[in-house]
Amino acid sequence: MKYDYDLFVIGAGSGGVRAARMSAGFGAKVAICEDRYMGGTCVNVGCVPKKLYVYAAEYSKQVKNAKGFGWNTEAPSFNWATLRDNKTTEISRLNGIYDSLLGNANVEVLNGRGKIVGVNTVEVNGTEYTAERILVAVGGWPFVPEIPGREHAVSSNEIFDLDSFPNNIVVVGGGYIAVEFAGIFNGLGANVTQLYRGDLFLRGFDEEVRQFAAQEIAKQGVNIQFNTDVTAIKKLDDGTLELSLNNGTTMNADAVLYATGRKPHLTNLLADGITLEQAKSGHLKVNDTFQTNIPSIYAVGDVIGGMELTPVALEEGMTLARHLYNGQPCELDYSNIATAVFCQPNIGTVGMSEEQARAKYTNVQKYRSEFRALKHTISGSDERTLMKLLVDGDTDKILGAHMVGPDAGEIMQGLAIAIKAGATKAVFDATIGIHPTAAEEFVTMRTPV
């Protein structure tokens, strides 16, 4: 049978765009459709704008810390509209780049939501297109629980573009998105309360890192309340939001951000009669070649779960394209993928947490360093940094590295290469540090604790 396309991609986010471009480069005829954000979550309402807002938030701390170095500055005023609008201009530029990348790769771009109406057919804006293979790369969507007044809350999709700056904001959630936005608005000058229904946020991260981060974030001024949840939101006559909490108290805020997780964005994706197998979490099930239960339909990125990170989606899209159209094996190593949480101070991590290491290995050695950075001996800040290495005592191999402190993400990227290459503690010990830096601490920790 002759199809309109070899590959039809639904979703122009990180994974979908990479798969489309690579496949077209290998000679496939490719189309891609997108109904909202060219570039997906990361470019539009995720990593990129979030990091820009993190930079903005850190300036206030820099001004505060400058006094000890002789800079007598008045507390600066912050203009929300300037940040918001400059961000929007930059995102528009990136949208255009994504359009150009696809066009230059001879990928046909269709604006509209793709709906799978047959095992080889996608409908966009009422027109049907056939393809030998269909790739689902629709990503995730913020989840807000069904509570009374939920319509008064905003998600991470809308938070970047609020009409006015919220002087009092409540962030609900305990994942990295919640933690990051609590830090952003705290740094921009808002009074921030973070509510999390569990005992401690950042579930899945190293326990010691979680505890240390909670301590340091609280020092910055974020009011963290664990074992606390919102039961209802009411909008008062003056526009203030009144939150009812599960402990029987109430709390007022100008804005409420729900960062309580994301779910696969499967709404209106499948016509009646088309069923793709899903895990209990709602993510699409795929095999080792990213194939769903329908052989002609594949899926990559956040919609299949796993580590929901932009670089992972990119790698999945690239791996699939190479496999389908360049004859390469469909192999992707998910071990030792580094990640960062851009809270204040940052968290960087690669490899196993201490809990994971001790569950798998019988002789785990921990190297730990906690200190006040050189900068803060003069700045006056009481911020502290934590670094730790986990080592298999039998093989000397590094199992995990963790850091809470400034530039943790930048530092961890270099360590990730070493750990991916199989570095041992002896290699770290033999590496001469760069002095004076915080990063040198990773090669000067000599005694296990």
pLDDT, tens only, 416-442:
999 999 999 999 999 999 999 999 999
- Check residue 37 and give its pLDDT: 87
Verify whether residue 435 is a known catalytic residue.
yes
Torsion, Cα of 230, 341, 143, 86 (10° steps): 100
3-state secondary structure of 36: coil
Domains of the chain, first to last = 5-142+263-326 (3.50.50.60), 150-260 (3.50.50.60), 339-443 (3.30.390.30)
Give dist(CA 426, CA 443) in Å, integer.
9
Tell me the per-residue pLDDT of 165-187, one tens digit each, with 9 for 90 and over.
999 999 999 999 999 999 999 99
The tokens for 64 are 């505060």
Looking at residue 75, its pLDDT comes to 80
If you search the block for the tokens 């528009």, which residue do you land on? 92
Tell me which residue of 141, 142, 134, 156 sits closest to 16, measured CA to CA.
Answer: 134
Helix (H, G, I), strand (E, B) or coil at 208: helix
Q: Which of 212, 156, 217, 164 is nearest to 186 (CA)?
A: 217
What's the CA gap between 435 and 439, in Å, rounded?
9
- The pLDDT assigned to 246 comes to 97
Q: Tell which residue, 200, 222, 196, has the closest CA to residue 209.
A: 200
- The three-state secondary structure class of 132 is strand
Say which residues have a Cβ less than 8 Å from residue 183's Cβ, sequence separation at least 6. Answer: 54, 57, 217, 220, 222, 342, 343, 344
Which candidate in 152, 265, 323, 435 is catalytic? Answer: 435
The answer to whether 189 touches 78, Cβ cutoff 8 Å, is: yes
339 forms beta bridges with 349
Tell me the C-alpha distance between 320 and 313, whole Å: 11
| Residue segments in the chain with a per-residue pLDDT below the cut of 50 | none
The count of residues in the chain is 449
